[in-house]
Amino acid sequence: MGESCPMNGGDGTYSYAKNSTGQRDVARAVEDAIKEAVMDNLDLDKLLCGSTRFAVADLGCSVGPNTFYSMETIIKTVQQKSSTNNLEFQVLFNDQIGNDFNTLFASLPQGRSYFAAAVAGSFHGRLFPSSSSIHIAYSSIAMHWLSKLPEGVAVKGSPAWNAGKIHYMGASDAVVKAYADRFEEDMEIFLRARAQEIVAGGMVVTLLPGVPNPDIQHYAAVALNFFESILIDMVKEGVLAQEEMDSFNVPSFFSCIEDMRRVVEKNASFEIVKMEMVDVTINADAETKVRHLRASTEGTMVNHFGKEIVEQVFERAMQQKLHFTHMLDSMGDKVFGGMLFAVLNRK
């Protein structure tokens, strides 16, 4: 398994649409910071050059409803800043080809102030025509997903072989480095693509799970270790083959500010307007946390293990949900549930 899969589609019990209140809270936590960045840093006259079209792209939009909230925040702020009321807004909803765009478009808000279009494909590369396509590119809780597995982590005999584990938390230095290198390369590709697509003076707004420093583990990494412990039990019980577990790694990385800043400065196409850690408390009981984790990771796990095994994983996760809470509590201040928030201006 080399790629992540889209969030759970539809509007059922384990859908992302019904299990993403934590992501919504994150978006609300930075709402004022986004408004401030738009008001203080966008020169609309220079940006539009007489055009009345203003395009916003949500990269990694999933199925809603959180994307609608964020798009309205951006559009209303641009409207407030504009000296004219004749701007026409276009929102380009982007996600992987397998994303449930049907649910997304079926739930578009009535009376919205923008034209909507879908752009299917990976944001780890070009998505739009050059130069005059996008004015603001926005991405929330998506860019921590890697374009593919870090090199060597699922290859027996490799220095970075991550046997018996599904992520880099608690793994060898070689595994951690492989993940960090993959993230850095992906970010370089992302920024090169956006530099070609975004109008000069335009903006990138990113919000992704991150950590204050490499010695701190992210909440989501602890969650993956929780699932890892369940898979280990299933191997011991003979329900799952050791080889199946050894070849599975979740392609996600939780960056710190120093890593992100280095990549942006290396690219040189963007000016850093703001880059900071935002601590967001997740107010949810243990059962809700497991459902939220299922909505965002089930597809990736099913792609490797199959539906039957993964159904057992989540049944056990619900039975052991208090163990997950204990894992978080036992780490104290060594675990962080916040986000890396960055605003970049296209030079």
Residue 212: CA atoms inside 13 Å, Cβ hemisphere, count? 9
pLDDT tens, residue by residue, 59-81 = 999 998 999 999 999 999 999 99
Q: How confident is the model at residue 285 (pLDDT cuts 50, 70, 90)?
A: confident
What is the spatial distance between Cα 26 and Cα 29, in angstroms, rounded to a whole number? 5
The verdict on residue 3 lying in a domain is no
The verdict on residue 37 lying in a domain is yes
Model pTM score? 0.96
Q: How far apart are the first and last CA of the chain?
A: 38
pLDDT at 1 over 70: no
pLDDT at 343 over 60: yes
pLDDT tens, residue by residue, 108-121 = 999 999 999 999 99
What is the spatial distance between Cα 338 and Cα 340, in angstroms, rounded to a whole number? 7
The total domain count for the chain is: 1
> Angle at the Cα of 107 (from 62 to 80), degrees rounded to 5?
85
Residue 135's nearest CA partner among 47, 195, 59 is 47
Which pLDDT value is given to residue 211?
95
Token pair of 337 as six digits: 């549930």
Torsion over CA: 109, 114, 117, 120 (sign): negative
Which pLDDT value is given to residue 4?
86
Which pLDDT value is given to residue 119?
97
The verdict on residue 7 lying in a domain is no
CATH code of the domain covering residue 68: 3.40.50.150
Average pLDDT over residues 122-129: 96
- pLDDT averaged over the chain? 95
Which pLDDT value is given to residue 43?
94
Average pLDDT over residues 199-225: 95
The verdict on residue 13 lying in a domain is no
The verdict on residue 81 lying in a domain is yes
Instruction: Identify any residues that bridge with 134 across adjacent strands, giving them in sequence order.
Output: 198
What is the spatial distance between Cα 324 and Cα 334, in angstroms, rounded to a whole number? 15
The verdict on residue 12 lying in a domain is no
The DSSP secondary-structure symbol of 23 reads H
The verdict on residue 10 lying in a domain is no
pLDDT tens, residue by residue, 154-206 = 999 999 999 999 999 999 999 999 999 999 999 999 999 999 999 999 999 99
What is the spatial distance between Cα 335 and Cα 328, in angstroms, rounded to a whole number? 7
Which pLDDT value is given to residue 279?
87
Q: How far is CA 59 from CA 42, 45, 137, 172, in A?
A: 20, 25, 7, 32
Average pLDDT over residues 300-308: 96
Query: 341 in helix, strand or coil?
Result: strand
pLDDT at 282 over 80: no
Q: Which domain holds residue 138?
A: 21-346
Q: What is the 3-state secondary structure (H, E, C) of 57-90?
A: EEECCCCCCHHHHHHHHHHHHHHHHCCCCCCEEE
Average pLDDT over residues 225-239: 97
The verdict on residue 34 lying in a domain is yes
Average pLDDT over residues 81-90: 92
Compute, in degrees rounded to 10, the torsion defined by CA atoms 219, 223, 226, 230. 180
Which pLDDT value is given to residue 83?
84
- Quote the percentage of the chain above a pLDDT of 90: 90
Average pLDDT over residues 20-45: 93
pLDDT at 50 over 70: yes
Compute, in degrees rounded to 10, the torsion defined by CA atoms 247, 339, 298, 187. -50
Residue 103: CA atoms inside 13 Å, Cβ hemisphere, count? 22
Which residue is associated with the tokens 């049907």? Answer: 102
Q: How confident is the model at residue 26 (pLDDT cuts 50, 70, 90)?
A: confident
Q: How confident is the model at residue 93 (pLDDT cuts 50, 70, 90)?
A: very high
